[in-house]
Structure 1
Amino acid sequence: MAWTRYSFKTCRKIATFNDVVVSSDGWIVDSKYDLAVRNGGCQTTTNFFVRTFLVTRYRSVITIAARWCEGIWHFPMEALIGLAHITDLNKHNSFIHVSEQNKWVMQWLELIGVNKKRVIHGTIFADTLTVPQMAKCGSPSFDQLQWLRKSISIKVPLDKLSILLIKRTRKRVMPKFDEIQSLVEKFAKEVDLNFVLHDDHSLPSLTVQLERFSMASIVIGPHGAGMVNLIASQNRTCVIEFSPTDSNTCYMSLSYLLGHNYFSVPLYEDQTVQINKVEKALIACRRTK
């Protein structure tokens, strides 16, 4: 059965729907005709049930909601990127529907000039729903990344001044992190760069995080969402990732598309790395300058 009230605009890569319900997980439902589609991003196996009389109705909505798109990586790199296809006028006149209005989502939206009063989440009803093309799960394109890079308004320094080490304290904690930190601090002194510890236990605002990464000559740390801030790093920043053998290659791909120099150090199941391999990666970074 064709969805007759659906249209697709190829030049701007958006789809439009009329009189539909949309969920925070990306489900778009026309309850009158029992038709449903799911927005882009990562796959979901969840079912969706809604009582439309409990749902708030809006006249014009742009949705970038999808599975996991409340997350630190998934929101900017899969959802937010969809707004590249939306004109400033449409953003101003429509509500922006997201998976969750958490502090990181709201800070990203503020960075690109979205009015927080126009942001909504949860399951809603839309008279007109605009759905821009989002990024593939874990895999934004070169063009999408360039749009995001140009859209975030941060001060970019003339010189790279630091080595930034990412520390995880909540999940996948590295038991011998102090040994790594000592090595990186020593190396920073040898190459006359400032040492910056990016500790997820006490993170500053998103803007400050992005500014930190923009000033880094070397970014080093375990696989995790902290590396999403590489979007603000300057070309040819050296990235050293402690990579589990079964991990997604999203940060390797991100580094490549952003023009960074990338090195991987194996991260074992016990969350340890071989310290000599970390040292070799740091030396390799020096050679790429």
Structure 2
Amino acid sequence: MSRLLFRFSTLQYMLMLLPGLVLLALFSLKPMLGILIAFQSYIPGKGIWHSPFVGLDNFKVLFSSSYSWQVIENTIIISLAKMIAFLIIPVLFALMLNELKLVYFKRMVQTIVYLPHFLSWVIIAGILKDMLGLDGLVNQSVIIPLGFEPISFLGSNLWFRPILISTDVWKEFGFSAIVYLAALTNINPTLYEAAEMDGASRLQKLWHISLPGISSTIVLLATLSLQNVLNAGFDQIFNLYNPTVYSSGDILDTYIYRVSFEQVNYELATAVGLFKSVISMALIVTAYKLASRFAGYRIF
């Protein structure tokens, strides 16, 4: 009797799980059949099952193109620069904010720096174009009055990457700092009291108590960020870039978009996307293994 009840309750749970499994199969597993396009000379009129297979020819085109390597290089450089910036700036901000004694001012600052997270890149891109264009606020109010020639910031390969990195940090560092602030609240306050009785300065307490107290969180977030090496920020770059900065700002995601919808070369775009997915999957596995080893973080 108990076995029948156990099987009945198990069946109930399986039935509850069934709608989710159906949605997963329809929207996650079935679309993966599109991977076949990467190995075809895809003809939209014929579809996947009737287009001729060409094996690895699309990948040969990908890896034999010097521009493809330029895109991969741009992706890695931009994403690594963002990762380093997000490893340093939110930590410093959280440590400084944690030192503030005025609670209301502390909350106000935290709210102000957190707000840009909710702005879309479409809005931010419009603001930046108005500020950094040839007729923008920066040129008209600062550069030209100082006697210099106006600079096309968003059309310069010298300026485009720093603008991408700095604006992304400005938008998201307040959100990232929340994690470190939460970690700082878990530090035992008696450690600060003991250090103060021993005559430790504020900087010494920060260096010997606060920073070591959140070191495991820093290591965890640093290792988990490895999975984003090939994600340099499609929304941001797509709304800011133009043909003059392709050599420094074109990344894998924007390249896939243009190859798909402008060149209508679906097979090459799928090959690039599959290459990115395979590398990203390897990076995710590596990141979780490192997180498990150095920070004791496991999800399964």
TM-score (norm 1): 0.21
Q: Taking CA–CA contacts closer than 8 Å with sequence separation of 6 or more, which of the two structures ends up with the larger relative contact order?
A: 2
The structure with the largest strand share of the pair is 1
- Structure with higher Rg: it is 2
TM-score (norm 2): 0.20
